[in-house]
């Protein structure tokens, strides 16, 4: 498919995004069975990485960016990024800011320091922010890490 798309729009830079909202639960063994009384066994991180390599490996060397997105807490960022036998091979990671705890922020920061791209979800999903909270509070919090100038609110 990438070859077809590249042929149709040769000037475009294509990307493939893989959504894995349940990956942390799969790795932790907390995915409930159909009846809800039991849990599926945990999948080893090495096995998950190997499975994800089947998505990224065919795209290497084809000028196609690969991105993994997860909106759940506990995403193991480091083994998902970069090439190598113990890495899933993604170029970038997309996470929701509200789902990151201190260790997760450290992992994301390490990935960015290593040259990987970060797509940070800062707008809450499922609800619209109030007009007087635009941009949303989390966006303002994140932007302050990069700028001394606070974002204006609707009242300013």
pLDDT tens digit sequence for 81-127: 998 999 999 999 999 888 888 888 898 999 999 999 998 887 666 56
Is 136 within 8 Å of 123 (Cβ atoms)? yes
Confidence (pLDDT) at 127: 62
Residue 127, in any domain of the structure: yes
Q: Is the dihedral of CA 85, 19, 67, 124 positive or negative?
A: negative
pTM of this prediction?
0.76
Name the residue with tokens 């994140």. 142
Q: Is the pLDDT at 154 greater than 60, yes or no?
A: no
Q: Which among 86, 80, 107 has a CA at the least distance from the CA of 23? A: 80
Residue 7, in any domain of the structure: no
Q: Which residues are CB-contacts of 49 (< 8 A; sequence separation ≥ 6)? A: 79, 80, 86, 87, 88
Residue 108, in any domain of the structure: yes
How would you class 80 by CB atoms within 10 Å of its CB: exposed for 0-12, middle for 13-18, buried for 19 or more? buried
Q: Is the pLDDT at 14 greater than 70, yes or no?
A: yes
- How does DSSP classify residue 107? H
Residue 21, in any domain of the structure: yes
Query: Residues 79, 47, 57, CA angle at the centre, nearest 5°?
Result: 65
Residue 102, in any domain of the structure: yes
CB atoms closer than 10 angstroms to residue 33: 9
Residue 156, in any domain of the structure: no
Residue 27, in any domain of the structure: yes
The total number of structural domains in the chain stands at 1
Residue 40, in any domain of the structure: yes
Q: For 71-80, 104-113, 142-151, which range has the lowest pLDDT when averaged over its residues?
A: 142-151
Domain holding 118, by residue range, is 12-144
Q: Which residues are CB-contacts of 103 (< 8 A; sequence separation ≥ 6)? A: none
List the 14-19 sheet strands across, edge first.
14-19, 64-70, 92-96, 117-121
């Amino acid at each position: 498919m990438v070859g077809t798309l590249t042929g149709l729009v040769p000037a475009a830079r294509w990307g493939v995004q893989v959504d894995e909202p349940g990956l942390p639960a799969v790795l932790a063994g907390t995915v409930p069975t159909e009846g809800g009384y039991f849990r599926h066994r945990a999948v080893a991180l090495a096995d998950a990485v190997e499975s994800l390599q089947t998505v990224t490996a065919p795209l290497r060397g084809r000028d196609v960016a690969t991105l993994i997105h997860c909106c759940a807490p506990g995403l193991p960022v480091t083994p998902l990024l970069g090439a190598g036998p113990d890495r899933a091979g993604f170029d970038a990671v997309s996470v929701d800011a509200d789902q990151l705890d201190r260790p997760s922020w450290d992992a994301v920061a390490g990935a960015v320091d290593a040259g990987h791209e970060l797509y940070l979800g800062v707008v809450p999903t499922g609800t619209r922010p109030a007009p007087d909270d635009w941009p949303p509070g989390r966006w303002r919090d994140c932007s302050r890490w990069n700028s001394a100038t606070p974002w204006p609110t609707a009242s300013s």
